[in-house]
Amino acid sequence: MIEKSIEVHNLTVSYHSKPVLWDVDFSLPTGKIVGIVGPNGSGKTTMLKTIMGLMKPDSGYTEIFGQPLDKVRERVSYVPQRESVDWDFPADVMDVVLMGRYRKNNLFRRISKEDKRIATEALEKVNLLEFAHRQISQLSGGQQQRVFIARSLAQQADIYLMDEPFVGVDAATEDAILQLLREMKNQGKTVVIVHHDLQTANEYFDHIVLLNTRLVAAGPKEEVFTKELLQEAYGGRLTVLSKLGDLISTEEFPLREPEFKENKPEK
């Protein structure tokens, strides 16, 4: 029997009394790269924040490895959207990555040599060790994204929740991040990613959660990425945006929406 990493039970979440997620119910296997996909405003980021305990649901609940988040919090790491972070905060790259070594019960302990070794390895994995003592405000968008992934790696969690980790990075960086995620999967880690690009979602993920306020489908990508289910999730926007009526039938999915492309190459 495959162990479940995350279970979402009858979850409803609202902003100002307007449901953003409505009666959503699914479970995810361990050791997979999972994509949470759906149109803008479909509740993808809200789902991640609720799983992480950053938002309180109106009803329903989530469990991690069969337990409430508070009992397994150290096994879960969260990478927020880059735009939600104050990058002018006076900290260098190594300081940010070392934040992944703190735990709820050791916030005031000294950083050890082992912590520094783990943080250094994390920076090596994202090819940023040479920037260890640079202020985070001086980095490009793609480099900042990789710093947060390094911080997540330094936590040595079992589940990684990432909100749009590929936004604002160039193609080479995206490929490097994907390779790293696949290595994590091979180590038995579970990676859950909010993602906008349908074309790469079909390539990148093993398992898909397809949302549009309600759950449209959740399962292996071969079962979820069908013309009927994508049409149900995206409706008329699917055809208007990218003429997907024809493209899906030939298994060619739309290019990512322009606003999520890298504006300039990473330095």
Query: pLDDT tens digit string along 222-265?
Result: 999 998 999 999 886 554 444 433 444 445 444 444 443 444 44
Nearest of 126, 200, 140, 134 to residue 169 by alpha carbon = 140
Residue 262: predicted pLDDT: 41
Mean pLDDT over the full length of the chain: 84
The stretch 11-30 carries a mean pLDDT of 93
Q: What is the pLDDT of residue 50?
A: 96
Q: Which of 46-55, 130-139, 169-178 has the lowest mean pLDDT?
A: 169-178
Task: Tell me which residue of 179, 186, 191 sits closest to 77, measured CA to CA.
Answer: 191
Judged against a pLDDT cut of 90, whether residue 27 lies above it is answered with yes
Q: Taking the domain 4-84+158-260, which CATH number applies? A: 3.40.50.300
Alpha carbons 99 and 95: distance in angstroms, whole number = 7
For the chain, give the secondary structure using H, E and C: CCCEEEEEEEEEEEECCEEEEEEEEEEEECCCEEEEECCCCCCHHHHHHHHCCCCCCCEEEEEECCECHHHHHHHEEEECCHHHCCCCCCCEHHHHHHHHHCCCCCCCCCCCHHHHHHHHHHHHHCCCHHHCCCEHHHCCHHHHHHHHHHHHHHCCCCEEEEECCCCCCCHHHHHHHHHHHHHHHHCCCEEEEECCCHHHHHHHCCEEEEEECEEEEEEEHHHHCCHHHHHHHHCHHHHHHHCHHHHHHCCCCCCCCHHHCCCCCCC
Other CB atoms closer than 10 Å to residue 118's CB: what's the count? 19
pLDDT at 13: 95
Domain segments of the chain as ranges? 4-84+158-260
Is this model's pTM higher than 0.85 or not?
Answer: no
Q: pLDDT tens for residues 74-113?
A: 899 999 887 777 767 788 999 999 988 886 555 556 788 9
